[in-house]
Amino acid sequence: MLKYKLLLLTALVSAQVAFAQQKPLTTNTGAPVGNNQNSKTAGENGPVLLEDVHLIEKLAAFDRERIPERVVHARGAGAYGEFESYGDFSSYTKASLFRAKGKKTPLFVRFSTVVHQQGSPETLRDPRGFAIKFYTDQGNYDLVGNNLPVFFIRDAIKFPDMVHAFKPSPVYNAQDQNRVFDFFSHIPEATNMFTYLYTNLGTPANYRQMDGFGVHAFKWVNAQGEVVYVKYKWTSQQGVKSLTAAEASAIQAKNHQHATADLYDEINKGNFPAWELSVQMIKPEDLDKFDFNPLDPTKIWPEAVAPSLKIGKMVLNRMPDNFFEEVEQAAFSPGTLVPGIEPSEDRLLQGRVFSYFDTQRYRLGGNFQRLPVNAPKVEVNSYNQNGVLSNRGTKSNVNYQPSVTQAVTDNAQYEYSTRTINAETMQRAISKTNNFAQAGELYRSLAESDKKHLVSNLAGDLGQVANKEVLNKMVSYFYQADADFGNRLIKTLKLNQKEVTSIVASAR
């Protein structure tokens, strides 16, 4: 029996060698390569010749294997799957993926950490990106969000500064909590997000066992032009599982890519992860009825204000064949929309609609939407042309519109919604900031063990802040959210009476 197996193995190896010999190595232009082991030289000990085209091509391709990493969301993992609609929601939106019960739409998902660079441990405290690209029959739709329901800031003008504060110092190239909290001591609106982030939700156990949120409000528009504002939530059907600081440290010591490995392993075993999608809705005429601004991304919409409606389910069932081509080159933008879905007036979202497209054009070139992972499944009929790596294959002499020779026309049913605005231009903060109430409600909703973890996690980073003015200001924000929250931080940080007096005074 052993002899038979050895003979079979030998035959298989011989067949593989023979097959390989039938497929010679070629250059990028398809020309056969004569020698891939030795460079062409001027004599045995002479210099290497520039005319060795294969050598130059091979080195040049290698030199360009890396593209600029994402400024944020640099580390990620992705998977393919499909979305199935639970019903016909055309009374709210003309987006086709939500217009029929049982309608299935293919999709690609990229999970990611936010602040840290490629190759960083997936155990670090950080929001997790949760981005979905739906390949709908009306074109692509990107729903780009996080695993936490709110964000740090409410205006895109603060975004570059926020990211700079989180990123390594431009002097000593290391991340520094002094820089982070120096910035955020001027940003009280971040209190709600920090309260979420420093719970154990800030260190998800893996990508499968976390929820996802669109964070921003969007507009749904139906065929009659009627508008409703919506917020999205993805609820993990695997449940939500987080790591304590101690658990995260233990995992990081053994495996810095545990979340990616978990996602790949489970899908390959046939344990396909799933999430239900739900939306909350608010009518335009009701936007001013609350003690907060519903378009403020630092706020949630309480269920009592806007009950959730389940609209569908996503299942991930296939891993990418090539990480770089599919996961790394996957490009998302909240501006990738389909008819029936539009941006709200959320100031942060308005900036992201520009910024995400712009950064993808920088990273991948002007034709990034032609890459297979980003390309829609429907025909593209556009007069955009040329640019790096253009492969549009256009043949017509007419690359403009309108033209009498080509009947490409507008379609009124896909026009944007309309809104009457009678306002002055301005640069002012929103009127209903209400920076602390929801953070306090979140704190009071936590179990005692979760409160202890929150205070311990937060104090661990605040304790690194050397500037007492910055430290006291940050603690005062959490004190304003909830006095018990603030007092526990004061005790854990061992602040003196003078500092306590300053904190309490700041909170009045």
Q: Per the residue annotation, which of 54, 73, 116, 453 is the catalytic one?
A: 73
Is the residue at 404 inside a domain? no
- Give 441: exposed, middle or buried? Use CB within 10 Å, 0-12, 13-18, 19+: middle
Is the residue at 171 inside a domain? no
Q: Chain-wide mean pLDDT for the chain?
A: 91
Looking at the predicted structure, is the pLDDT value of residue 13 above 70? no
CB-CB contact of 479 with 471 (8 Å): no
Looking at the predicted structure, is the pLDDT value of residue 27 above 70? yes
Domain boundary among 370, 395, 426: 370
What are the pLDDT digits (tens) for 170-184?
999 999 999 999 999
Q: Per the residue annotation, which of 140, 146, 200, 206 is the catalytic one?
A: 146
CB-CB contact of 232 with 277 (8 Å): yes
Are 364 and 448 part of one and the same domain?
no
Domain of residue 345, residue span: 76-157+204-370
Q: Which residues contact 478 (CB under 8 A, 6 or more apart)?
A: 191, 194, 195, 439, 458, 485, 486, 489
- Residue 168: per-residue pLDDT: 94
Is the residue at 275 inside a domain? yes
Is the residue at 174 inside a domain? no
Determine whether 73 is an active site residue. yes
- Residue 408: per-residue pLDDT: 67
Query: How much of the chain, in percent, has pLDDT values that exceed 90?
Result: 71
Are 250 and 337 part of one and the same domain?
yes
6 band by pLDDT with thresholds 50, 70 and 90: very low
Q: Which residues contact 348 (CB under 8 A, 6 or more apart)?
A: 151, 153, 154, 155, 156, 159, 216, 297
* CA-wise closest residue to 266 among 86, 81, 453: 81
Is the residue at 114 inside a domain? yes
Are 364 and 502 part of one and the same domain?
no
Are 334 and 458 part of one and the same domain?
no
Question: What are the CA-CA distances from residue 304 to residues 281, 308, 309 (Å)?
Answer: 12, 10, 13
CB-CB contact of 152 with 202 (8 Å): no
Domain boundary among 370, 389, 407: 370
CB atoms within 10 A of CB 217: 25
* CA-wise closest residue to 126 among 242, 238, 297: 242
Looking at the predicted structure, is the pLDDT value of residue 4 above 70? no
What are the pLDDT digits (tens) for 321-374?
999 999 999 999 999 999 999 999 999 999 999 999 999 999 998 889 999 999
Looking at the predicted structure, is the pLDDT value of residue 17 above 70? no
- Residue 389: per-residue pLDDT: 79
CB-CB contact of 200 with 157 (8 Å): no
Are 127 and 216 part of one and the same domain?
yes
Binding residues for heme: 356
Is the residue at 337 inside a domain? yes
Are 134 and 224 part of one and the same domain?
yes
Looking at the predicted structure, is the pLDDT value of residue 55 above 60? yes
Is the residue at 175 inside a domain? no
Are 241 and 111 part of one and the same domain?
yes
Residue 218: left (phi > 0), alpha (psi -120 to 50), or beta? beta
Q: Which residues contact 227 (CB under 8 A, 6 or more apart)?
A: 219, 220, 221, 284, 417, 419
- Residue 12: per-residue pLDDT: 46
What are the pLDDT digits (tens) for 280-310?
999 999 999 999 999 999 999 999 999 999 9
Is the residue at 193 inside a domain? no
- CATH number of the domain at 338, please: 2.40.180.10
- Residue 257: per-residue pLDDT: 95
Q: How far apart are the C-alpha atoms of 442 and 210, rounded to whole Å?
A: 18
Are 356 and 457 part of one and the same domain?
no
Determine whether 317 is an active site residue. no
Binding residues: 356
* CA-wise closest residue to 163 among 184, 132, 186, 191: 184
- Residue 407: per-residue pLDDT: 63
- Residue 347: per-residue pLDDT: 93
Q: How far apart are the C-alpha atoms of 20 and 32, rounded to whole Å?
A: 13
Helix (H) or strand (E) holding 145: strand 139-146
What are the pLDDT digits (tens) for 370-400?
999 999 999 887 778 888 878 888 888 887 7
Average pLDDT estimate for 227-231 = 98
Are 320 and 459 part of one and the same domain?
no
Residue of 18 and 432 predicted with greater confidence: 432
Query: How much of the chain, in percent, has pLDDT values that exceed 70?
Result: 95
Number of domains in the chain: 2
The DSSP call for residue 494 is T
H-state helical runs in 307-447: 347-364, 437-445
